[in-house]
Amino acid sequence: MGKYIINGGKKLAGEVNISGAKNAVLPILAATVVGQNRSTIFNTPNLRDVEIMEKILLSIGCVVDRMDNIIYVDSRQLNSFVIPDDLVREMRSSIILMGAMLSRCGEVIISYPGGCEIGPRPIDLHLKALKEMGVTIEESHGFLHCKCEKLQGCEIQLDYPSVGATENTILAAVKAKGTTIIRNAAREPEIIDLQTYLNKCGAKVSGAGTSIIKIEGVDKFKDVKHTIISDRIVAGTYMAASTITGGEVVLKNIEIDYIQAIVAKLKEAGSLVYYDSNSLKIVGPKKLNSIEMVQTLPYPGFPTDMQAQMMALLSIANGTSIISETVFENRFKHAEELIRMGANIKIIGRVAVVKGVKELTGAKVKSKDLRGGASLVLAGLTAKGTTEVDNICHIERGYEDFDLKLRELGADIEKVK
């Protein structure tokens, strides 16, 4: 599994380049199967989840080549519609292959997905949308067998602006007969990036970034080159790392419009933030302010993927903060590990009451999910003494060279097997 050994108390300083977005590259890699074409994807982060998606594409007959941060996918020879069960269980995002494979093959067999244990994330919205487009779905023994003769465009009203359901519906609709309109669509930047990729291929998708997305079905796709947007959650995590250590860090290659909700809360906590079009400098305060309320919401609200990092930060703030998690119902598993380090946190349902303490102390803690693991690293950076963060395979699903980049900023962190 591996672990990080962190000796806390170092102020971070320097520059860090923000890698491509995990949550943008995975649906785009799924989309490469749709068009029977060749795709060259730039700014691809080196992550475990990306490796799993590569293995899935290889297993169904695609040619995949990787060189540093460039991935080349040739999907012309795709020869299977069965997605390997062992790979799906490792990564929840594999479910977005459902819409893509139906677009390409009219059929897919896939198991219920795995990934982080952060509470139920039902895929009923995905299935409901696909059924409205003419897909028949048989569920048995943990597998979904989805099939259709011809996907049919229609109007789909999502009950909740689910990112995955929006992406799956777009991927199913790009070659469907007629026009598909998705209402109450998710508005995340990663969906805009998916639209950009698809339209470069020859698709006709409009409205991404708003609550209404329109897709006109097309027959043919062309070869494409595309650069993945930078990762707003990775950016937010390094911003939180600078803030919690009272550091001074410059982030390069960022999309400033996409991180405004994070910037606002870190300013509230006392940080100074300066930015231009694609870089940002964040200076952490000597003493952190508590925040009256942090409430996670779908984009453009405060992201659920930054909730754990904010909890670590607020655990040493001056005063009491309230965190309300509205997106996932079981996303406070990191709290008990922070408490091991001396944090004063009370969990009441989907609300966490965080009473700031003078300092955290190093301890042996365990990463239980991706963002919770990142929060423990942040806590370790400021804690007195040595922190061991175990089970870092979760963290490596979403952060490229996390220990190396933190070390370049001055952190005392080492990765051991």
Give CA–CA dist 146/154, Å, rounded: 18
Q: Is 37 annotated as a binding residue?
A: no
159 plus 242 within the same structural domain: no
142 CB neighbour count, 10 Å cutoff: 9
Q: Where are the beta strands (DSSP E) in 77-118?
A: 107-111
139 plus 278 within the same structural domain: no
| Coil/strand/helix, residue 133 | coil
Encoded amino acid at 403, one letter: D
Q: Is 378 annotated as a binding residue?
A: no
219 plus 83 within the same structural domain: yes
- For residue 148, report the phi and psi dihedrals to the nearest 5 degrees: -155, 150
Q: Is 49 annotated as a binding residue?
A: no
Verify whether residue 116 is a known catalytic residue.
yes
Q: Is 12 annotated as a binding residue?
A: no
376 plus 260 within the same structural domain: yes
Q: At what angle do helices 232-244 and 370-382 cross, to 10 degrees?
A: 20
Domain tally, the chain: 2
Give CA–CA dist 240/375, Å, rounded: 9
Tens-digit pLDDT profile for residues 226-280: 999 999 999 999 999 999 999 999 999 999 999 999 999 999 999 999 999 899 9
3-state secondary structure 138-150: EEECCEEEEECCC
Dmax over Cα atoms in the chain, in whole Å? 63
348 CB neighbour count, 10 Å cutoff: 7
51 plus 194 within the same structural domain: yes
43 plus 15 within the same structural domain: no
Percent helix, percent strand, percent coil in the chain, to nearest 5: 35, 30, 40
78 plus 10 within the same structural domain: no
DSSP 285: -
CATH number for the domain harbouring residue 186: 3.65.10.10
Which of 227, 255, 288 represents a domain boundary (last residue)?
227
Catalytic residue among 105, 116, 146, 148: 116
Tell how far CA 45 is from the center of its chain: 12
266 plus 143 within the same structural domain: no
Which of 202, 227, 252 represents a domain boundary (last residue)?
227
Q: Where are the beta strands (DSSP E) in 221-271?
A: 224-227, 248-252
| Coil/strand/helix, residue 123 | coil
Output the pTM of the full model.
0.95
Dihedral (Cα; 255, 257, 259, 260), 10-degree rounding = 150
**DSSP string computed for 288-348:** PBP-S-EEB-STTSB-GGGHHHHHHHHTTSBSEEEEE--S-TT--HHHHHHHHTT-EEEEE
User: Mind listing the pLDDT tens digit of every residue in the chain (417 residues)?
Assistant: 799 999 999 999 999 999 999 999 999 999 999 999 999 999 999 999 999 999 999 999 999 999 999 999 999 999 999 999 999 888 878 899 999 999 999 999 998 775 555 444 568 899 999 999 999 999 888 889 999 999 999 999 999 999 999 999 999 999 999 999 999 999 999 999 999 999 999 999 999 999 999 999 999 999 999 999 999 999 999 999 999 999 999 999 999 999 999 999 999 999 999 999 899 999 999 999 999 999 999 999 999 999 999 999 999 999 999 999 999 877 899 999 999 999 999 999 999 999 999 999 999 999 999 999 999 999 999 999 999 999 999 999 999 999 999 999 999 999 998
User: By residue range, what is the domain housing residue 296?
Assistant: 3-19+230-416
